[in-house]
Amino acid sequence: MTADRVANENNGLQASHDTRRLRLFSGTSNPDLASEIGAYLGVPDGPRVIKRFADGELYIQIQESIRGCDVFLIQPTCAPVNDHLMELLIMVDACKRASCRQVTAVIPYYGYARADRKTAGRESITAKLVANLLTKSGVDRVLAMDLHSSQIQGYFDIPCDHIFGSPVLVDYLRSRAQGEVVVVSPDVGGVARARAFAKQMNDAPLAIIDKRRSAHNVAESLTVIGDVVGKTAILIDDMIDTGGTISQGAKLLQRTGAAKIFCCATHAVFSPPAIERLSQPGLFEEVVVTNSIPVQREFHFPQLKVLSVANMLGEAIWRIHQESSVSSMFR
């Protein structure tokens, strides 16, 4: 089911239900997304104070009664990840001490997700550590979007609803990617994601870029497995960080004969030098991302298109509040 269909079919349902026990509060990482979610639900972003003391310590106060309420805290843990994570933990503690019924951490982007396993001796599995911190802080449930790897959902000892931004991306790309389309995974690890995306794109064929990584944030693309000659290639990933993997993959697709190249990802991390790489003239037809992470105005470039996932997150929040199925949104 697409995001638009979900929105249209549930607007009347939402209007008929009581939202007096539903509360939304945003942190400082993405207040615009929280406002959009609130508009979808008809529930305003709740009043709170977030400030810093002279020594850098955070102070957070919830400024309305939430006793017995279902509280949803909207906070992607994007850069600066440590500040936003700590802010979320303090917000959780403030809500629990205010006698709310349940706290759900809505984390559109889950920081530290790439540290999901040990690849060398004496490393931390930080994705699991963050899950432990959230659980111990008092979070009752987590709502996350496009986790870097599916096993992270199992790191939580509390319910974790995992939703996907792909319906929003697919809705847009169906109208933009003309001609014969091939969906391309930028590496072998993303094949499952690309295969699911290709199925949504009217069962488009799949291609894979064989990549060798020599160091963190450094990738060398070697060859394309699959037919891309004369086709519109859609490179799909969960996030774009420095843009090295995506830009090298796009150049390889050009050399292999792709007619047009679209790039899409849910999370626009955009660490330097991502903007310089992605905005190269003649490389991408469009770079399509969502607002799970706020994209600052200075990071915008002509090929960039930012789509909103607010309605999808809002619908998931509504279903959690109503104790109905979240997974059925994607059937």
User: Catalytic residues, which ones?
Assistant: 211
CA distance 63 to 83: 21
Maximal CA-CA distance, the chain? 61
List CB contacts of 281: < 8 A, sequence separation 6 or more. Answer: none
Question: Smallest Cα–Cα separation from 263: which of 271, 254, 148, 272?
Answer: 254
**183 with 147: CB under 8 angstroms?**
no
How is 179-232 classified by DSSP, letter by letter? SSEEEEESSGGGHHHHHHHHHHTTS--EEEEEEEEEETTEEEEEEEES--TTSE
Residue at 144: amino acid letter: A
What does the block give as tokens for 305? 């298109």
Q: 295 in helix, strand or coil?
A: coil
The residue with tokens 């709310």 is: 100
How many Å apart are CA 147 and CA 167, to the nearest integer?
15
- What pairing do the DSSP bridges indicate for beta strands 48-52 and 58-62? antiparallel
The sign of the torsion formed by the CA atoms of 21, 323, 172, 182 equals positive
First to last CA, the chain: 6
Residues 6+ apart with CB under 8 A from 123: 115
The amino acid at residue 274 is A
CB 297 within 8 A of CB 268: no
Residue with tokens 């200075």: 298
